[in-house]
Amino acid sequence: MWRDPDKINKWTIADASDLYGVARWGADYFSIDEAGDLVVTPFGRDGAARISLRKIVSEIEERGMAMPAILRIENILGSQIKLLHDTFRSVIKQTGYKGEFRGVFPIKVNQQEQVVEAIAQFGKEYHHGLEAGSKPELIAAISMLPSRDCCLICNGYKDEEFIDLGLYATKMGYQCFFVVEVPGEAELILERAKRMNVRPMLGLRVRLSTKADGQWAESGGEGSVFGLSMGQVVDVLDRLKALDMMDCLRLLHYHIGSQIPNIADIRAGAMEASRIYEELVKEGARMGYLDLGGGLAVDYDGSNTNDQSSRNYSVEEYCYDIVESIMGILDKNGIAHPTIVTESGRMTVAYYSMLLFNVLDVSSFVPSRIPDKLPRIAGDLLGNLMSAYEMVSPKTLQECCNDALYYRNQALQMFKHGNISLRERAMAENIVRHILIKIARTAATMKQVPKDVFKIEEQLYDIYYGNFSLFQSLPDMWAINQIFPVMPIHRLNEAPTHPAIISDITCDCDGKIDNFPESSGNRRTIMLHELKENEEYYLGVFLVGAYQETLGDLHNLFGDTNIVSIHVNEDGSYQFIRDIEGDSVSDVLSYVEYDINDMKQRLKKMAEAAIADGIITVRERKQILDGFAEGLRGYTYFEKE
Ligand SMILES: *Cc1c(COP(=O)(O)O)cnc(C)c1O
């Protein structure tokens, strides 16, 4: 609304693609079609499959499922697994590396049965395995393992039961690695294995001195709570030697953190680990596997930098740097190349799921028109404001900024002291807004603008109320300020004219999205379209497949959203393969221990008491109780009739 009108008139979908950074964060899975809809291309932008998200939303709603919904495009899981394996394979071939690559999916990144099952299926031809960090994850993993050729990695603290479960898998011929995380664990694993008469495959998780930048850096470095120090490694080695079990030590593991934005840290970690690997071989351990953990980052903000929401490398560079780092160290002393294992979780699942929601309302920054005749009020406040408004021009921009803010404060003071009325204060504030908008409009036509003007622009936004809960669906956005790509899924052939922030429907002032990729402008706002009468406006938040689903919580008792999965065929046809209805109101109430029948009984009593007092009729009682029953069955989010 205060942008360059020229640009608005000549708007193209290329402008929309650039504004929202689709090509930068979309990793070839997203683009915009001629109709201005955002489309998913699970087989890459050149593939025949182009699925309009606007169309999918209609089909979800026609099936009776309301927004918000999580949409999962199953094939993207397959595409990401293929990308990882194909890239490692090609790098291994080009460099003459003598070992193989084995990927594993760490279940904690997305534990949903459907996700783990799809990964197991898509990963089968690559022997893609699973990683578990707890008993429930281990049982889930074992039940899903597609073949005996893939790795099953057991991390986390292990009690007897955990170890026994893994040993059963070993007995059945699966490649189950027990990664020793704390010193005492090795002893327990050996003891349980002896009892069961199996030789376990052991791994050591080491604490590297290498630390990575980024949000999760704490997992690495010598201060990390996970893994063995070098002294503890030596203790375990001595113990294994004494028991003549050095042939059981097969794997070295480290994990310096998730979402490592800087390739230099990845290289440094691989090199340090390779040196430790070499030493373990020299000590006489059988070895054969080097497990580099997770960390392969997702470029959420599309900036391709070492910012914490991004990464300064491609998947190819990641694979190259790892393979070359390992070879560089091990070749010096002729140590055989190990099988490389990575536990990429985020990279595997982030792209395949998105949150879709409708916008319920907008609170506009734009005030109503200034009336032709203004009342004369104390100190001629409105008159002064109008002069400031008339005065706005490229030459006086800085001065007008100062005036507007000065008079805004004056209006507030005068109101507090009882010198102007509520209506007069409202009028003054409206004119201030008009001044700020005129300043921003003027600035849009200038090459150089004073710094303060940028600060003003940051304040000029509408609030779009989205039908979702940040706490349930995007917890990392709230907890650690993570950036996710956000954009409208349709109308992309029209210029978006409103700078906005997006609020959710929880009653928590933290429930908002006001942090966007740098490229979108001032980072605080996103450009959105004007709402149309009788037409829904839909937004999507993308790359939410990793970590968000189970970390989400019931803040304000907004429950799980509806979930829809589709499977896309190469020719572009697709099927809805699964839908899971989100929580109903009675579901979330029972999570916090309410007894639904008790509640109904109490409501009945209240209604009977109201009848007895003559406040409602028997007929009204039925209506009221039916209303509550209906409410309990309903979706926790805003529903259209
Ligand atoms: C969380 C975790 C991972 C997954 O990391 P990503 O960065 O999501 O790939 C892998 N390994 C271990 C041990 C983890 O704790």
Ligand 1 atom closest to residue 155's alpha carbon, by position in its atom list: 13
* % pLDDT > 90, the chain: 81
Q: Which long-range contacts (CB under 8 A, 24 or more apart) does 234-237 make?
A: 235/183, 236/180, 236/183, 236/186, 236/204, 237/280, 237/283, 237/285
Q: What is the pLDDT of residues 311-360, one digit of tens each?
A: 999 999 999 999 999 999 999 999 999 999 999 999 999 999 999 999 99
Residue 502: burial class (beta carbons within 10 Å; 0-12, 13-18, 19+): buried
Write out pLDDT tens, residues 528-559. 999 999 999 999 999 999 999 888 888 899 99
Same fold, 100-349 and 381-457: no
* 190 SS3 class: helix
Q: If pLDDT is split at 50, 70 and 90, which confidence band does 449 have?
A: confident
With the most atoms of ligand 1 within 8 angstroms of its CB, the residue from 255, 296, 482 to mutate is 255
What three-state secondary structure class fits 289? strand
Going by pLDDT thresholds of 50, 70 and 90, the confidence category of residue 368 is confident
**What residue owns the CA closest to ligand 1's atom 5?**
294
The whole-number pLDDT of residue 220 equals: 61
Looking at the CA of residue 547, tell me the nearest atom of ligand 1.
8
- The total of other beta-carbon atoms located within 10 Å of residue 148's CB is 12
Residue 213 pLDDT greater than 80, yes or no:
no
Mean pLDDT of all residues in 569-595: 94
CATH number, domain 100-349, options 3.40.50.300, 3.40.50.1110, 3.40.50.1980, 3.20.20.10:
3.20.20.10
Distance 458 CA to ligand 1 centre (A): 37
Mean pLDDT of all residues belonging to the chain: 93
Distance between CA atoms of 504 and 463, rounded to whole angstroms?
Answer: 10
Q: Name the pLDDT band for 5 (thresholds 50, 70, 90).
A: confident
Q: Which two tokens stand for residue 26?
A: 């979309």
- For ligand 1, the distance from its centroid to the CA atom of residue 109, given in whole angstroms, is 7
- Nearest by Cα to 329 from 287, 295, 279: 279
- The pLDDT, as a whole number, for residue 159 is 94
Q: Per residue in 56-87, pLDDT tens?
A: 999 999 999 999 999 999 999 999 999 999 99
Q: What is the pLDDT of residue 578?
A: 87
* Dist. CA 403–CA 390, nearest whole Å: 12
Nearest atom of ligand 1 to the alpha carbon of 205? 13
Per DSSP, 35 falls in state T
How many whole angstroms from 45 Cα to the centroid of ligand 1?
A: 29
Instruction: Please count the other Cβ atoms lying within 10 Å of the Cβ belonging to residue 536.
Output: 17
Which residues approach ligand 1 with their CB closer than 6 A?
106, 108-109, 155, 255, 258-259, 293-296, 343-347, 546
Q: Any idea where the domains of the chain sit in the sequence?
A: 5-73+353-365+461-580, 100-349, 381-457, 585-633
Ligand 1 centroid vs 141 CA: distance in angstroms?
15
CATH 1.20.58 fits 381-457, yes or no: yes
In this prediction, residue 2 carries a pLDDT of 52
Q: Ligand 1: which residue has its CA nearest to atom 10?
A: 294
What is the atom index within ligand 1 of the atom nearest the CA of 219?
A: 15
pTM given for the model? 0.93
* Banded pLDDT at 217 (limits 50, 70, 90): low
Q: How far is the CA of 270 from the centre of ligand 1 (A)?
A: 15
Neighbouring residues of 78: CB distance < 8 A, sequence distance ≥ 6 = 118, 122
**What pLDDT score does 1 carry?**
46
Whether the upstream peptide bond of residue 68 has omega within 30° of 0, thus cis, is yes
Q: What is the pLDDT of residue 47?
A: 84
Contact 39, 50 (CB under 8 A): yes
Identify the CATH assignment for 5-73+353-365+461-580 out of 3.40.50.720, 3.40.50.2300, 1.10.340.30, 2.40.37.10. 2.40.37.10
Is residue 216's pLDDT more than 70? no
- Which of 51-65, 78-92, 161-175, 368-382 has the weakest average pLDDT? 368-382
Identify which of 102, 108, 258 to mutate to test ligand 1's pocket (most ligand atoms within 8 A of the CB).
258
Handedness of CA 178, 179, 182, 183 (dihedral sign): positive
**Confidence tier at 273 by pLDDT (50, 70, 90):** very high
Contact in structure between 430 and 362 (CB atoms under 8 Å):
no
Q: What tens digit of pLDDT does each residue of 113-142 get?
A: 999 999 999 999 999 999 999 999 999 999
546 CA closest ligand 1 atom index: 8
CA of 96 to the centre of ligand 1 (A): 28
Contacts of 503 (CB under 8 A, 6+ apart): 463, 464, 465, 466, 511, 512, 513
Distance of alpha carbon 128 from alpha carbon 27, whole angstroms: 22
